[in-house]
Chains A and B, each alone.
Chain A
Amino acid sequence: MYEIRLHSRGGQGGVTAAKLMALAAFRDGKYATAAPFYGAERRGAPIVSFIRIDDMPIKIYSQIHHPDLVVVLDPSIIDLVNVFEGLKSDGKVLINAPEVPEKAKSYNVRYVDLTDIALKTNLVVAGSPILNTPVIGALAKMGLFSRESASAAIKEMFSDERNLNAALMAYEELI
């Protein structure tokens, strides 16, 4: 089983990103679950989503304490929450950032500027850059699911092709 913990802020689409991940893994023929963990409805609050991918049916509903992968959609969360807590010793980190933040430097970090990609592809809604579809491209590049399944999942959930364009750009630009 592969366990991913995704950190975002309310309103950034982290919950949808988790669903997209589950859908992409499902389209790859895997079992997958995506579970958000939030308090009351509120924009801007840090939230966490737990994603599990496995070849067997997943029976675990409790939180992920030792993720294989930590995804950080908003780097400012790193100052509020220990996003690396419990990360497996061989675990990886994916951060939305133009460069590796100081606090992350001791980890195995991949990064890509999703915010910049969203702005470049005009993937902006009500003033906010959309990060949940581009991050799927970066995750596909990391091997979480196939590029085909990632694209299929995005197309299934979003008709606007800017989403797919941004994801493909993130796939290419992941460092």
Chain B
Amino acid sequence: MLMVSTGNNAVAAAVRQANPAVVAAYPITPQTEIVEQIANFVSKGSLKAKYIPVESEHSAMAACIGASITGVRTFTATSSHGLLYMHEMVNWAAAARLPVVMANVNRALGPGWNVWAEHTDALQARDTGWLQVYVASVQEAYDATLMAFRIAEDRRVYLPVMVNLDGFTLSHITQQLDESRAGDFIPPLVLDHRIDPASPQGYGCMTSSADYFLIRHDIERSMRDSRAVIRETEDAFFKSFGRKYSWTEDYCFEDADVLIVSMGTLGKEAEVAVDILRKEGIKAGSMRVRWIRPFPDLDLKDRELVVIDRDYSFGFGGILASSIRAKTGKECYSVIAGLGGQEVTYDDIASFVRSRRIGTEFWFGVDA
């Protein structure tokens, strides 16, 4: 069904399609509309889920874990400090091998209190074993949420998936949405290790130093196997719904001499900068990185890189730039921009490219 929707409502609509049995809900700006819309669906009967209005985000993830281990589909949504507050349980959900799906509306961390877009919140969880994808349009928020359930619940994966959307910039913007019916795109969940009194097991018990590392390796093995599952799922999605997704979204990529690499809505704004630069004779291109975990193999070749990080790791550097450097050995012009919702326009992005100095870091609004 073709309509207009906000990013938050698109996530809620996709959750309704996925039909989870349990949704844990706690409000935090700018995610709140997701859990409110789901409350609406449940109240009106268009989603038959148990809706648990928990008392904190730590409990939201704990409740999802408790529900998920019985073998049912679960969902929650959070943002920023909520994600930080549930960090212990975020780790737990991955190591417990539970296919929880969570929408995280990327928002800056305090103090000072700031409700606008920044990626540091979710990137701080990059070590947890969660798969993470970053979307840049209302349609993609819907589509990625649908795919998240199928990917998480695949036997080869059994890991939770986080769908990230920029706070306010995407969560609150109204764009067109094709609210495609999921049909049988998401197969029923069969959780092999679900709790079953008829076949009693102990879960998460004391584990000695002689064995623990095997559990951790198993998580990584599934994270590696998830690459094939992601490919298969995105290909199947294209076949079913006609919309194509991959590890990155590339624009004017093939003959580009300089590549703007970024995540989230900045990746779309960057395409407008590319058009401007091309008119000036600069062969720019854009690569919007969608998947952060598992981190994709990026086909960068000889191109110069202008990497925009809407995040930072203190004492180290922009997380995307650092990741690319670590994985490919390539130096880049590392731009730190958009923190706390700092405005970054296509003109700004074009100027980053024009004034690039490979091998340096540039804090937009601070450095000259």
Q: Which residues from chain A sit less than 8 Å from chain B, CB to CB?
A: 18-19, 22-23, 26, 31-37, 39-40, 58-63, 65
> Would A61 and B268 count as touching, CB distance under 8 A?
yes
Q: Which of B168, B175, B343, B346 has the most CB of A within 10 A?
A: B175
In the complex with contacts A19-B4, A40-B115, A62-B269 CB distance below 8 A:
yes
Interface residues of B in 141-172 (CB under 8 A from A): 166, 168-170, 172
**Nearest 10 CB-CB pairs, A to B?**
A34-B174, A62-B345, A59-B268, A35-B173, A61-B265, A22-B174, A19-B174, A23-B4, A61-B169, A59-B271
- Quick check: A62 and B344 within 8 Å, CB to CB? yes
Identify the interface centre among A22, A40, A59: most chain B CB within 10 Å of its CB: A59
- Distance A66 CA – B147 CA, assembled complex (angstroms): 38
A48 CB to nearest B CB, Å: 12
- Would you call B4 and A35 a contact (CB within 8 A)? no
A23 to chain B minimum Cβ distance, whole angstroms, is 5
Whether A60 pairs with B272 at a CB distance below 8 angstroms is yes
Q: Is B176 an interface residue (CB 8 A)?
A: yes
Of the candidates B115, B168, B346, the one whose C-beta lies within 8 Å of that of A60 is B346
Q: Tell me if B29 is interfacial: C-beta within 8 Å of chain A.
A: yes
Interface residues of B (CB under 8 A from A): 3-4, 29, 115, 166, 168-170, 172-176, 265-266, 268-269, 271-272, 343-346
B173: contacting residue among A31, A33, A40, A65, CB under 8 A: A33
**Bound: A65/B176 CA distance, A:** 23
Tell me the bound Cα distance from A19 to B177 in angstroms: 13
Subset of 27 A-B contacts with CB under 8 Å = A19-B174, A22-B4, A23-B174, A26-B176, A32-B174, A32-B175, A33-B173, A33-B174, A35-B169, A35-B172, A37-B168, A39-B115, A40-B29, A40-B115, A58-B175, A60-B269, A60-B272, A60-B345, A60-B346, A61-B169, A61-B170, A61-B173, A61-B265, A61-B268, A62-B344, A62-B345, A63-B345
Partner of A62, one of B3, B115, B170, B343: B343
Which DSSP category, helix, strand, loop or mixed, fits chain A's interface? mixed
- In angstroms, how far is the closest chain A Cβ from the Cβ of B115? 7
CB distance from B231 to the nearest CB of A (A): 25
Set B4, B170, B344, B346: member contacting A26, Cβ < 8 A: B4
Closest chain B CB from A151 CB (angstroms): 16
A31 to B346, CA, bound (A): 19
Asked, given contacts A19-B4, A26-B4, whether A61 binds B269 with beta carbons under 8 Å apart, the answer is: yes
Residue of A nearest to B177 (CB): A26
Q: When chains A and B are docked, how far (Å) is the Cα of A111 from the Cα of B266?
A: 37
Minimum CB distance partner of B274 in chain A: A59
A62: chain B residues at CB < 8 Å are: 269, 343-346
Of the candidates A34, A35, A62, the one having the most CB atoms from chain B within 10 angstroms of its own CB is A62
CA distance A93 to B257 in the complex (A): 43
Indicate if the CB atoms of B174 and A18 lie closer than 8 Å: yes
Contact (A59, B272) CB under 8 Å given A23-B4, A26-B4: yes
